[in-house]
Amino acid sequence: MLHMGLPHVNVLSKLDLLSRYGDLDFNLDFYTEVQDLSYLQNVLSASHPRFSALNEAICGLVEDFSLVAFETLAVEDKQSMIHLTRTIDRILGYVFVQAPQTDGNAPQGIGTLRPNQDALFTSAMGALPGHSIQDIQERWVDSREEYDAWESREWRKEGEEAAKRENQNN
């Protein structure tokens, strides 16, 4: 990844299936942000002592370059898909910025004809709204059954309301 001339995005997918494989040793943000891997080395050494030297070398490489992070994706979750799409758009440079408004006092040639570079870099480098790894962990890892039941009830209510509106219109 260091020598690739293209931007790349690491995606931790199949979050909707994660709960089938048991509890995680750490919170989901530990795996997505990849900050301090010494904790992971301890867990890996305890479970597979044969690979401890290899695990230590890989963890050291990842920590030295600080280039690895993961975006999350649960295909059943619309917000997760939207967030990943926005992240990919931002990384590829596909960022829209509104043209600055001109007022009556602005000199000719300044305004919409002049690019607003500050706004471009602010929107390109800023955090994407509406995405929290803690929310994703709560939804897909910690309380999946409860959220699925709540979502099912909400869909049922929405269907009943739509049917009621349709009956009123006829």
Is the residue at 29 inside a domain? yes
150-164 pLDDT, tens per residue? 888 998 999 999 999
What pTM was estimated for this model as a whole?
Answer: 0.56
Is the residue at 110 inside a domain? no
Is the residue at 109 inside a domain? no
Residue 124's domain comprises 11-34+69-97+118-169
Is the residue at 61 inside a domain? no
**pLDDT value at residue 161:** 92
* Phi, psi torsion values for 83, nearest 5 degrees: -60, -45
- CA-to-CA distance for 72 and 81, rounded, in angstroms? 9
pLDDT for 106 beyond 80: no
> Which residues make beta-bridge pairs with 12?
72
DSSP one-letter code for 104: T
Q: Which helix (H) or strand (E) holds 72?
A: strand 71-72
Provide the domain count of the chain: 1
Asked if 106 and 83 count as a contact pair (C-beta separation under 8 A), the reply is no
Is the residue at 1 inside a domain? no
- CA-to-CA distance for 134 and 131, rounded, in angstroms? 9
- CA-to-CA distance for 89 and 1, rounded, in angstroms? 19
> Which residues make beta-bridge pairs with 71?
11
Is the residue at 56 inside a domain? no
Is the residue at 106 inside a domain? no
40-96 pLDDT, tens per residue? 777 777 777 788 888 888 888 877 776 677 888 888 888 888 888 888 888 777 765
Of 41-55, 112-126, 132-146, 149-163, give the lowest mean pLDDT range: 112-126
5-41 pLDDT, tens per residue? 677 788 888 887 777 777 777 777 777 777 777 777 7
